[in-house]
Amino acid sequence: MQVVFHCGVHGTDLYRMVKTLLQNRDWLLRNGIEPVTPNRHRDVFNEALAALDGGPATAEMEQVMLDAILESDDPHRIICSTPTFLGKAERALSLDGLYSTAGEKMAALANLFPGAEVEFFMALKNPATLIPFVLSQEGSGTYAEVMGGIDPESLRWAPAVRRILAALPGRRLVIWCHEDTSLIWPEVVRRIATMPSDVPLKAGLQILGDILHPDGIRMIRDAMAQETRLTIESRRRIFSAALQKHALPEQIEVELALPGWTQDTVDRITAAYDADIAEIAALPGVEFITP
């Protein structure tokens, strides 16, 4: 059995993966793939993680969990998606770096099903927008309280991903940039769901619907209908043209007004993020999805 954990990160998904997979549930179930909603797995996994304290589950415990979370009989691939796999949003930031405990948490998740082939999927987010997202969460403290003296420019993704790889030897790790999601969403969903390119993907435009004027969605549907053979490249070209013409500014622009930050601060953090992404994409053990 294959068990897939889609781990966010915070501020990248808003449960779109769960919603898209559920839209395609009929095809998935017919092909032995079951998406498991957070309300079905959350309490089961939390109880097991607490009991195991990072150790591996027994075969009996694995079966009890599967019986509790699955609705279909003997799927060969199950998919679980939620950013809370990596803990609370404010714990993404620490003096030890970005998501300093992610590797430990992901290894504990893998140990829930030691008899399975476990895979991990996650989108990365520019720290220049991740930090404001963390601060925007209900119950979050002030900038000074959340950052606790952390230099925002020290929050780098390359060391974070290296720590994750070290904690997950031999596990599949698929990564992409949140900023690219609108262009690559169908490929992300197909890869996590193992859906062939010739199978119609329902709700494949869902993420674009959140950031485009309705005219942009109509433009995409019209352009795609005119393609005699729609390829990944032609679809991305169509998406890009619609985004340039019909993107809703309030949905794609982030207001950054944090203490001590200037445009130069944002530019330096973004440049470091770009450098980290180039390094991560080349790391052995990482499957990187690019536009």
Q: Give yes or no for residue 206 having a pLDDT over 80.
A: no
Q: What is the pLDDT of residues 53-92, one digit of tens each?
A: 999 999 999 999 999 999 998 899 999 999 889 999 989 9
> How sure is the predictor about 33, in pLDDT bands with cuts at 50, 70 and 90?
very high
What pLDDT, in 10s, does the model give residues 226-268? Answer: 877 777 777 778 877 877 776 766 555 666 778 889 999 999 9
CA atoms of 98 and 156, how far apart (whole Å): 6
Instruction: Please compute the mean of the pLDDT values over residues 87-112 and round it to a whole number.
Output: 96
> For the chain, what is the total number of helices (H) and then of strands (E)?
14, 8
DSSP annotation of 152 reads: G
Position 103 scores a pLDDT of 97
Query: According to the per-residue pLDDT averaged within each range, which of 22-36, 128-142, 200-214 is highest?
Result: 22-36
Q: Say what the pLDDT of residue 253 is.
A: 61
- The tokens for 271 are 């440049």
Considering the entire predicted model, what is its pTM?
0.89
Closest CA to 104 of 38, 42, 166: 166
pLDDT of residue 211: 66
- What domains appear along the chain, each with residue ranges and CATH number? 2-200+269-289 (3.40.50)
Distance CA(107)–CA(114), nearest Å, equals 10
Exposed/middle/buried for residue 105 (C-beta within 10 Å: 0-12, 13-18, 19+)? buried
Q: Is the distance from CB of 247 to CB of 211 less than 8 angstroms?
A: yes
Decide: 152 and 131 in contact? Cβ < 8 Å: yes
Percent of the chain with pLDDT strictly greater than 90: 69
Distance CA 137, CA 155 (A): 19
Residue 78 tokens, joined: 């199950």
Which residues in 114-153 are b (16+ Cβ under 10 Å) and which e? eebebbbbbbbbbbbbbbbbbbeeeeeeebeebbeebebe
- Pairing of β 33-36 and β 77-81: parallel
